[in-house]
Amino acid sequence: MALKSTNIKIDENLKKQAQQLFASLGLDMTTAVNIFLRQAVREQAIPFRIGEPVPNTETLGALAEVAAMKKSPHKSRGYTDVDQMMKELLE
């Protein structure tokens, strides 16, 4: 199999981070890119999910809390005065 060089442009910081990651896995950049390309060809797709990041557990909990507060606003306390809110929080 004949090898062919390919040039790509990537952010310098991203390249350094990727090189550190791949080195920790015992790979160099060329090997890692070849793994990606082979997997893409094998699957006939990008071999990982592309989309918005999935929120972590803490964020999901906060979103659920807000939804519950909207559903039952009488169960939560609202403030129009920051000083009063801080006073009650610190008590």
- Please state, in angstroms and rounded to a whole number, the distance separating the CA atoms of residues 16 and 82: 45
Domain count, the chain: 1
Assess contact for 29 and 19: CB atoms under 8 A. Answer: yes
Confidence (pLDDT) at 9: 96
Confidence (pLDDT) at 78: 81
pLDDT surpassing 90 at residue 34 = yes
pLDDT digits (tens, 9 = 90+) for 11-30: 999 999 999 999 999 999 99
Confidence (pLDDT) at 50: 87
**What average pLDDT is seen over the chain?**
93
User: Is the residue at 5 inside a domain?
Assistant: no
At 38, phi and psi to the nearest 5?
A: -60, -40
Alpha helices in 1-91 (DSSP H): 12-24, 29-43, 57-71, 82-90
- Please state, in angstroms and rounded to a whole number, the distance separating the CA atoms of residues 72 and 29: 53
User: Is the residue at 86 inside a domain?
Assistant: no
What does DSSP assign to residue 2? -
User: Is the residue at 85 inside a domain?
Assistant: no
User: Is the residue at 91 inside a domain?
Assistant: no
User: Is the residue at 2 inside a domain?
Assistant: no
User: Is the residue at 88 inside a domain?
Assistant: no
Note down the domain range covering 21: 10-76
